[in-house]
Structure 1
Amino acid sequence: MLGRLSSATNQNKRAIIAMSGGVDSSVAAALLSQQSSYTVQPVFMRNWDTRDEYTHSTPGGVKGCEWEIDYANAKAVCTHLNLPQPQLVDLSSEYWLRVFSPSLDIWRNGQTPNPDIACNRHIKFDALAHKVLKGDDDVLVTGHYAQVDTLTGTLSRAVDRNKDQSYYLSAVNKNILNRVLLPLGSLHKQHTRFLAHSLNLPNANRDESMGICFIGERRHFGSWLDDYIHTKKGLFITPHGHSLGEHNGLHHYTIGQKARIGGVPKKLYVAAKKGNDVVVVDSPQHNLLKCKTIITHADINWLVSMDHLPNTPFEATAQVRHRQLESRCTVQVEHDHLMVTYQHFEMAVAPGQTCAIYMGDVCIASATIDKTISVDGILH
């Protein structure tokens, strides 16, 4: 099931398994311990503590125990599997500086960041890897649903297309991927849950975690951000510039979401941001929401050698959200950025998000979306 993991040549090599307290990483640890000759060392990352929020928000309602609950679950699983107790690795400072603070800057600019992608790039597969991978043969193991060829460092989609998380890994530096093992890449989520029950894991019935790690599934996300971002009010406007009312800050809105405006009974949708104003339209299928072309920032993360790519422009597929069906496109490399033009169009593409490029099931590159052009040729 784990392919090269079961090779006898792996004896005495260390596999550092990143435990989250959830089912996926727990099953990955179980498979690793049972079917390989690696010496397994669990670790647990602390990236965020809600008690830190006291310095930014008014006290009250902050329990500060979320990571401790996750850590307790991870320790219980390790005890059950006769593994060493997970080493606690505190990366909260690195997370604040390399993920959270840059994300705040993106929200302030009216764009929509993806902190989970940034966390994988800068924390789990960089800061953590540098702390725990000591020997040349050490490998980092996670519970992600994706596949990595450790000989070539090639990142591919998981077998379970609905669960595939290669999009979340698309910004990870290629140089680390040949030291990464993803045991769940060949499994379907349903089978992972079955294994958790068959192994009697203490967290087998735990719900799947969702949401950004420092927010989880809290409601009123925009209001929470108000504690960190100075609110600069602006106007809701129509595409023709007619004012419909006042909004409470660009960070409350992302492209495609519903915009609730007092005194306006009909449904409206965020189509663009113009200066400090939010452009709204009356249909989720409005042409302003139909993105024809994406222009990225210069932060291209190539996951394959440029020598293996056809001359540009080349045909590929693009994905801008998790669990989104990829769309056919043409990719043009222009100086230090990508221009991705859809064969048809993609709905509600938000600047600040990540655009991952695929050829077949292989992720070849990713970059942050800077601007978009609608099917009507309007630049946002």
Structure 2
Amino acid sequence: MKIAVLISGGVDSAVVVHKLYSEGHDLHLFYIRIGMDKGEGDCSAEEDIEMCSLIAKKYSLPFEIVSLHEEYWQYVMSYVLQTVKSGLTPHPDMMCNKIIKFGFFEERWGKNFDKTATGHYASVREVDGKLYLATAKDPIKDQTDFLAQISYDQLSHIMFPLGNMDKSEVRDLARQVSLPNALRKDSQGICFLGKIDYSDFIARHLGEKKGPVIEIETGKKIGSHRGYWFYTIGQRKGLGLSGGPWFVVGKNIKDNVIFVSNGYDTRLQYGRIISLAEPNWISGSPFVVSNKSEEQEVSVVISFKTRHSPEFYTGMLVMSNDGNIKIVSDVDVQGIAPGQFAVIYSKDKILCYGSAMIIPNVKKRRHHHYKGKNNLETSNND
């Protein structure tokens, strides 16, 4: 099989190359280069490319560096900045996979191959003749939540050779076959931002604007912040407040106010109703809709995630007769942040149906302690 392999310089994609090469496939290696904004170079990219070149040389494979710099900044980072400026929480890694890795790359290079392989920890399963994105063997490394915005066509052309391996098995295999990056640390941070700090990136593009930090229960000002766009619902670290823990539980975008609540057990950081919009069902809707016109809503038992974590929540995915959808969780969910995505799975936590954007609940919370500031955007606490 003729396969395009997206490699990053990390151990995961290197092991993908070894596995597919050992199986006798015809491989062509690709590294997607994304420079920093304002034309700045990325020293980490040079290190990555050097490592990719060593992998290609080890297996005598063709290696190509392709640039999607303009596309990345036009589509992914503009999405991030617009979302943050709107007071919402973006998911750049999810959009990077959808638009860059499996979007523009596929349209220009991947289409010339039978499959495109990556080092993601995920799987593809066939159920009743239809392909589904499925979770990986390693629950801690599983990355299906980063892939839940892709389309069925994109899924149909992707291979995830690490889906049946634990991270420890990947490391062991890399050492056994003497891969040059066998001991290289995993990369951290946002897709393609390299070593740039996220807060520094936001400050560079949106600047800073001081505003008050208000304790929501009392209306008392207890500090100041750099600008609402630096903070997200459920955030605890980086607030600079004493006597914590303090959690961000709401934002007044119009007046640049951050609302916080004290203590791990504050009920204001939890909720069970999660309103959703713009669902992306990769392999079709999980709902089984009845033909009965009098039926007001349909529902299905699901597992779900609202952040990258090995833990799943369980609950019901509900669609009203007007098409609006929401999750009713079986337990309280912490830090439900509008703008982020809820990733929807089958109740057995195997199939990933897709994802939908979290939006504020219809019910608005009026805050009477902070005079006149009643247009408070909160998490989906119920």
- Same fold (TM > 0.5): yes
**Structure 1 residues not aligned, in runs of 5+:** 1-12, 55-61
The alignment covers a number of residue pairs equal to 353
Query: Structure 1 pair 107/354, CA: closer, same or farther in 2 (3 Å)?
Result: same
> What amino acid is aligned across from residue 121 of structure 2 in structure 1?
Y
Match of 1:144 in 2: 120
> What residue identity is the alignment partner of 2:125?
D
Report the CA distance between 1:100 and its aligned residue.
0.5
Equivalent residue number for residue 172 of structure 1 = 150
Letter in 1 for 2:74: L
Q: Distance in 1 between matches of 2:149 and 2:26?
A: 29
Q: Give the structure-2-normalised TM-score.
A: 0.85
Q: 1:357 & 1:119 partners in 2: Cα distance? A: 19
1:289 to 237, 254, 269: 269
For the aligned residues, what is the CA RMSD?
A: 2.4
**Partner of residue 7, structure 1:** none
2:306 equivalent among 315, 320, 335: 320
Q: Which residue of 2 aligns with 1:44?
A: 31
SS of structure 2 residue aligned to 1:257: coil
Distance 1:108 1:138, change over 3 A: same
Structure 1 pair 337/142, CA: closer, same or farther in 2 (3 Å)? Answer: farther
Matches for 1:23-34 after TM superposition, within 5 Å: 23-34=11-22
The answer as to whether partners of 2:11 and 2:184 remain within 8 angstroms in 1 is yes
Deviation of 1:128 (Å):
0.7
Q: Does 1:279 align with 2:279?
A: no
The two structures have a TM-score, normalised by structure 1, of 0.86
Q: Does 1:366 align with 2:352?
A: no
Hey, what does 1:340 align to over in structure 2? Answer: 327
Q: What is the rounded CA distance, in whole Å, between the counterparts of 1:233 and 1:68 in structure 2?
A: 37
Which AA in structure 2 matches 1:152? K
> SS in structure 1 opposite 2:223?
strand
Determine the structure 1 residue equivalent to 2:7.
19
Query: Displacement, 1:133?
Result: 2.6
> For the residues of structure 2 that align with 1:180 and 1:193, how far apart are their CA atoms?
23
Deviation string 1:218-242 (CA, Å, 9 cap, x unpaired) is: 55x3233111014333221122432
**Does residue 210 of structure 1 match 2:188?**
yes
CA deviations 1:192-222 (Å, max 9, x no partner) are: 0111111111111100111103434555x32
Q: 1:305 aligns with which of 263, 284, 293?
A: 284
* Residue of structure 2 equivalent to 1:268: 246
Q: Which amino acid aligns with 2:261?
A: V
Contact kept? 1:44, 1:88, Cα under 8 Å:
yes
Aligned equivalent of 2:45: 67
The one-letter code of the counterpart of 1:321 is: R
Please point out which of 46, 52, 59 is paired with 1:81. Answer: 59
CA offsets per residue over residues 289-333 of structure 1, 9 Å max, x none? 112111122x21102223774662111111011124110111112
Query: Which residue of 64, 86, 89 maps to 1:112?
Result: 89
- Paired AA for residue 67 in structure 2: D
Is the Cα–Cα contact under 8 Å of residues 15 and 139 in structure 1 kept in the other structure? yes
SS of the counterpart of 1:358? strand
Counterpart in the other structure of 1:94: 71
Q: For residue 74 of structure 2, give the secondary structure of its aligned residue in structure 1.
A: helix
Asked if 2 retains the 8 angstrom alpha-carbon contact of 1:28 and 1:143, the reply is yes
Deviation at 1:103, TM superposition (A): 0.6
How far off is 1:134 after superposition?
3.5
Aligned pairs (5 A) from 1:170-209: 170-209=148-187
Cα pair distance change 1:73/1:373, threshold 3 Å: farther
- Deviation of 1:65 (Å): 1.9
Q: In percent, how many aligned pairs have the same letter?
A: 29
- The one-letter code sitting in structure 1 at the alignment partner of 2:66 is V
Distance 2:72 2:82 in 1: 14
Question: Which residue of the partner structure matches residue 351 of structure 1?
Answer: 338
Counterpart for residue 372 of structure 2: none
CA separation of 1:310/1:159 partners in 2, compared to 1, >3 Å: closer, same or farther?
farther
| Contact 1:145/1:163 (<8 A) preserved | yes
Residues 142-185 of structure 1: CA deviation (Å, up to 9, x unaligned): 00110013763310000111111111111111111111111000
